Chain A
Amino acid sequence: MPKTLFEKIWDPHVIKTIPDGPSILYIDKHFIHEVTSPQAFKGLEQRGLNVFRPDQVVATADHNVPTLNQHLPIKEELSRIQVDTLQRNCSKFGIELYGLGHPFQGIVPVIGPELGITQPGMTIVCGDSHTSTHGAFGTIAFGIGTSEVEMALATQCLMQHRPKLMRINVQGKLNKGVLSKDIILYIISRISASGATGFAVEYAGTAIRALSMEARMTICNMSIEMGARCGMIAPDEITFNYIKGRPFAPRGEDWTKALATWKTLFTDEAAKFDRELYIDASDIEPMITYGTNPGMGIGISGNIPGMHEIEEKEKSSFEKSLRYMGLEAGAGIKGKKVDYVFIGSCTNSRIEDLRMVAAFVKGKQKAADVQVWIVPGSKQVEQQARAEGIDKIFADAGFLLRQPGCSACLGMNEDKIPAGKYCISTSNRNFEGRQGPNARTFLASPLTAAAAAITGSVSDVREMM
């Protein structure tokens, strides 16, 4: 019986399926952080339970940590309490914690892969919707709520319904200046912010196969922005080469054995999907969002849809969105002034992102009235950037390289965009107030963000390369 990549991982992880109910799914790796775990630990304590498999749980502090002066105590009291609570819970329950100051600290979907913890064929969960990122390695990885964090801590299992299966085939070659971020923003703009709800999505096709692991992670990361349960890409030589030698990657005989298993993880030719989409990579140009959900995106040279193009029942939401953004229906977006540039988040804060931005801005200067924040995804990314002299290139351009954390992606720490200001951001959500109360977000690729940093307005990076 031909199987999809998803089925090859899901089926052997199901302990039992309840008739007309969910399956009990075994979880290989469970990541936790300071914001969505405290109530779960409290729940365990109230029930008098232990963590069932502490060796399969990894913790870090990422959501509300400051991105400057991390060696000092956290100033903001509630954030400090959350980070301290995580530390206390981890030591009480015997969980490995990569806290502030640890060389492995960073944003969960960045550190899992870079440490080699994320490996093909695994089931991975975290109380963070961008857990879908790990799917780039051929894993089933998804975000969960705190009650589920408690369940996973208590039993290493979750009650899950098997999602429907969708395959998105991206064929052909990407145009100059177009990155994997543009592919995923394009897909979401085509199928909407709810277009993949209830589905596990496999990304396939020659354009996907040609991408590096870091670029693949960017795509899987944003699967949730179209509602998908998870996103995944079959592992290949690019995947295996990325994992090999990382701190927690298998070694010696274990590596050989693991590799043999990993090589079986692909969708068989005759396997069936509930839905398939085909996209021509050459149709994609650098993308930018204009609205308040990630599905509201257009090509950089395009116009915001006119009112006549919007369905009647969606008109009031569309108008509300444009009013919030201070933009006009039917207008272009190129040339729109920006105040802040944020390059970071679990979508685009890896070393390749920083290298690409550095290569583009080398010898250039940021626009005078723009603030540019570069926030690396992890301590390791930060160290690597410094070792390669990328920090100096940024400093010369007037950019500030900060310390790792989620930062202005969701403004839980001090890194907030002021009310009414425009931020071009490499993160994943342009929701109202996401980057700070009344802040306005344009989502784009690191190159498009870097271009805006130089010109001070939304720009077509292709004209500057």
Chain B
Amino acid sequence: MNAITTITSTTVPLNAENVDTDQIIPARFLKATSREGFGKNLFRDWRYENDDESTPRNDFVLNDPAFHGRILVGAKNFGCGSSREHAAWAIKDYGFDVVVSSFFADIFKNNALNNFLLPVTVSETFLSEIFKAIKSDPSTTCTVDLAAQSITLNKKNGPALSEKFEINHYKKTCLLNGYDDIDYLLSMKEEIAAFENKRITSNI
């Protein structure tokens, strides 16, 4: 996987709470046996009228030419519901590298991290500042610096706003270097087998 470093981009604002993974990628599109191509159906039922690609819904942000970029800005409880990793695949495949929200659902956050899609948790105040700034000027950019654990809103009319975000040291190292959890676990195989033997003999 490609390592994440610093990303500066315009953003796509999706100001709705409790965006669940059924909206991100509806169940009927989970029938593939590979990880590729899910971006086409990202937010399928919010993007098109009556499931018809020839009738995009003008009121949905992905269909608004004013908004594009590598950073998706969501609202509270983003990614709730089903454990489908297809949701993270779809967002990444569409072209996003970062999702910003004030609160992520648990499983989605893990899935995103496992796909080098960086979930950035910001305060409610910072989030509403981003939404306000993009609304007044869609060309406003944000800079996400993983090494510094900071997100900066590069406001057009006023000083830039910055905030730190949390990420544990282990995961940060993985993302900066392009390591998978599975690589780490595979390196632990002997310890895992030893643990199993100990459990059998101590009859836990």
- Residues of A near any B CB (own CB < 8 A): 12, 15-16, 18-22, 24, 26, 35-36, 38-39, 42-43, 47, 49, 52, 63-64, 78-79, 81-82, 85, 127-129, 143-148, 150-151, 154-159, 161, 193-194, 197-198, 224, 227, 229, 257, 261, 292-293, 295, 313-314, 316-317, 320, 410-412, 419, 429, 431-434, 437-438
A20 touches B169 (CB 8 A): yes
- On chain A, the residues within 8 Å of B84 by CB distance are 35-36, 145
B182 touches A412 (CB 8 A): no
A412 to B25, CA, bound (A): 12
Partner of B107, one of A49, A145, A432, A438: A145
In residues 68-113 of chain B, which contact A (Cβ within 8 Å)? 75-77, 80-86, 88, 103, 105-107, 110-111
Partner of B83, one of A15, A143, A410: A143
A36 touches B16 (CB 8 A): no
Partner of B88, one of A145, A150, A158, A261: A145
| A227-B83 in contact given A81-B33, A151-B181, A412-B28 (Cβ < 8 Å) | no
A227 touches B26 (CB 8 A): no
| A411-B204 in contact given A42-B33, A320-B16, A429-B81 (Cβ < 8 Å) | no
A38 to B33, CA, bound (A): 5
| A148-B114 in contact given A15-B192, A39-B34, A314-B17 (Cβ < 8 Å) | yes
Nearest CB to that of A159 among chain B residues?
B181
Nearest CB to that of B193 among chain A residues?
A52
Partner of A431, one of B22, B50, B186: B22
Contact with A along B7-33 (1 / 0, CB 8 A): 000000001111010110011101111
- On chain A, the residues within 8 Å of B152 by CB distance are none
CB distance from A183 to the nearest CB of B (A): 21
Partner of B26, one of A16, A129, A154, A433: A433
A64 touches B31 (CB 8 A): yes
A160 to B107, CA, bound (A): 11
- On chain B, the residues within 8 Å of A36 by CB distance are 30, 83-85
- On chain A, the residues within 8 Å of B171 by CB distance are 21-22
B106 touches A198 (CB 8 A): yes
A-B contact pairs, 27 of them (CB 8 A): A16-B191, A20-B168, A24-B192, A35-B31, A38-B32, A82-B31, A129-B83, A143-B83, A143-B107, A144-B110, A146-B35, A147-B114, A148-B114, A154-B185, A154-B186, A155-B182, A155-B188, A156-B192, A224-B107, A316-B15, A317-B16, A317-B18, A410-B22, A411-B28, A412-B27, A431-B23, A437-B26
- On chain B, the residues within 8 Å of A438 by CB distance are 45
Contact with A along B46-85 (1 / 0, CB 8 A): 0000110000000000000000000000011100111111
Partner of B106, one of A21, A81, A227, A292: A227
A43 to B20, CA, bound (A): 26
A78 touches B204 (CB 8 A): no
